[in-house]
A and B are shown apart, each in its own frame.
Chain A
């Protein structure tokens, strides 16, 4: 991916006489919000109302190729491409607005839904008129934005180095509170607190949703989801009753704290969200169990059977004392 010479993300914008902007992206929104993110970024750069934007995603006849949803790359790479596309479109519109106002580009103040000369703040030209000016002679306008990871972020010659992985890395911390039924081995997750430095949170609600979903997915892996096979190769848990995806009944409240920073390379400083919270649940749970009963599981999922075996094997380390602030 990294070395075939194409940019790592491409966004196309189309502006037509209705003064509406179509964003064309190959990025797949399966509910994680990639279409929302590109729309937010374009709207932010251009300063226009959201109502002017429409997103067309995943139509390989029309949309530019996207490398795919993996390695938490989409917000970072596709977002950067979207920002560049919007800047490129804005440059064309600035020129058209300046021409309509009879001034030089450098004298123009861009207001989003309008523009004016910096020296005459009351003399506006509305967005629709700017568009009309821009379309003269050329008709429908398209703009493109691309993003390519700088070489120092592209990975080396090691196996897997060319996969095109993200260059945005978040930091996450997580606290899990559990209770353990020592006679049955049942582990109950009472509550989870997760903090994430995702860079700038372009859509905080979406970040929260991603973190909660990721934490919970980690919980499923850690407590009840397990793939196993018969000796003859048949899958033992080939249905949603035996492959135990947690229900709402045993799923805890998950409190999310977004701790922002600004990544110098990400779109508006954004990095990525949710890989840390997913991976973080498993060791946090193991640590919580150790805090509760003095034994740390090393095999997942921690089914009641495994927990019971862990509790009742012969050698037993002393239970960890709870930490007290006044000790």
Chain B
């Protein structure tokens, strides 16, 4: 069974014919070739699929595409600002918060959700906000450094 799915994706209105049983993750990756959002586990176990829906973090692998009809969805591809890395992406790059990069889109989106609601989080708050995102490379230390750096940059802007 398929219906028209209408939503805003990274700032642009989209209308696509999408089967009802399509996960948001598959709609993004297979339907729209937006492969920045990752499939890392069997469902809800790793956070690599984190996107934003109306500014809130959301696991795309545990969300039906039609479940976010009419909402504003943001993926890592939408983080770019005028062709340049945004402050979180740049902070991850400059502080080595990213090694293999697989967890990075999910980490950045979860951090973005945090900074929108709390622009000056302390390290423990960042830790709690990203506790649902697994990383296998960094041991998390430089990810925390990166989010702190991005928050500092934004605060001094």
Contacts and interface: CB of A to CB of B under 8 A. Distances in A.
Indicate if A touches B (C-beta under 8 A): yes
Interface string A201-220: 00001101100111111000
A31 interface: yes
Using C-beta atoms within 8 Å of the partner chain, give the interface range for chain B: 20 to 34
B45 A249 contact: no
B132 A247 contact: yes
A212 B139 contact: yes
A209 B41 contact: no
Interface in A229-280: 239-241, 245, 247-249, 251, 253-254
Nearest to B128: A249
B131 A248 contact: yes
Interface in B8-31: none
Interface of B: 40-42, 45-46, 95-96, 98-101, 127-128, 130-144
Contact of B142 (A30, A209, A217): A209
Contact of A212 (B46, B128, B136, B138): B138
Contacts of B131: 247-249
A280 B101 CA distance: 26
B133 A248 contact: yes
A240 B137 contact: no
B138 A209 contact: yes
B127 A31 contact: no
A37 B132 CA distance: 32
Contacts of A209: 96, 99, 137-138, 142
A188 to B, nearest CB: 14
A30 B40 CA distance: 16
Given A212-B140, A213-B138, 15 more contacts: A30-B99, A31-B98, A205-B96, A208-B142, A209-B138, A217-B139, A239-B41, A240-B46, A241-B45, A248-B127, A248-B143, A249-B127, A253-B141, A254-B139, A254-B141
14 contacts: A31-B101, A31-B137, A205-B96, A209-B96, A209-B137, A212-B138, A212-B140, A213-B99, A239-B45, A241-B45, A248-B140, A248-B144, A249-B131, A251-B140
Given A209-B96, A209-B99, A212-B138, A240 B127 contact: no
A179 interface: no
Contacts of A248: 127, 130-131, 133, 135, 140, 143-144
10 closest A-B pairs (Cβ-Cβ)?
Answer: A216-B139, A31-B100, A31-B99, A240-B45, A212-B139, A249-B131, A240-B41, A209-B96, A248-B140, A212-B141
Interface of A: 30-33, 205-206, 208-209, 212-217, 239-241, 245, 247-249, 251, 253-254
Nearest to A253: B141
Contacts of B100: 30-31
A314 to B, nearest CB: 38
Given A209-B142, A212-B139, A215-B139, A239 B42 contact: yes
Contacts of A247: 131-132, 134
A254 B143 CA distance: 12
A245 B99 contact: no
A256 to B, nearest CB: 9
Given A205-B96, A239-B41, A245 B134 contact: yes
Given A31-B98, A239-B42, A245 B142 contact: no
Contacts of B136: 213, 217, 245
A31 B95 CA distance: 13
A274 to B, nearest CB: 11
Contacts of A251: 139-140
A247 B135 CA distance: 8
Q: Determine which residue in A32, A214, A249 has the highest number of CB atoms from chain B within 10 A of its CB, and name it.
A: A249
Contacts of A205: 95-96
Contacts of B41: 239-240
B52 to A, nearest CB: 19
B139 A32 contact: no
Contacts of A215: 139
A30 B138 CA distance: 13
